[in-house]
Amino acid sequence: MFLLCGSETYDPDSLKEGLVENSIEARGFQNRFEAILRDRPLGAQEYERDIGFHFDTGEKLYRYLAAMHAFLFESGPFPL
C-alpha cells in the first residue's frame, strides 16, 4: 500500500481504478489497508521517512489514511 501512496507515486485516482479491475487483489489490498488502520504500525515520523509525506502527529496521519480508505473503498471524497 505504501509504495502506491508515496510522494513519488501519489495518484489515488489511478490506484482506485486499479483496485476495481482486479477484485482478488483489491480485497487483499483492502484487508492490509484495514490492518494498518487498526494496528497503527507507523508513527508520523516513520511514515515521512519511508513515504515522503509529512504529518504533524500520528493522529493526523491516521485521519488521512482513513480518508484515503474511504475514497478507495467507500465512495468517499478525494483525500486532502
Pairwise CA distance, residues 20 & 8, whole Å = 22
Q: Write out the residue range of the structural domain in which residue 45 sits.
A: 2-73
What's the pLDDT tens digit per position in 1-50? 555 565 555 678 888 888 876 688 888 989 999 999 999 998 999 888 88
Distances (CA, A) of 78 to 5, 43, 75: 13, 23, 9
Domains contained in the chain, number: 1
Report yes or no on 79 lying in a domain.
no
Report yes or no on 41 lying in a domain.
yes
Q: What is the pTM of this model?
A: 0.81
Q: Pinpoint the alpha helices (H) of the chain.
A: 12-21, 23-39, 44-51, 58-73
Are the CB atoms for 34 and 26 separated by under 8 Å? no
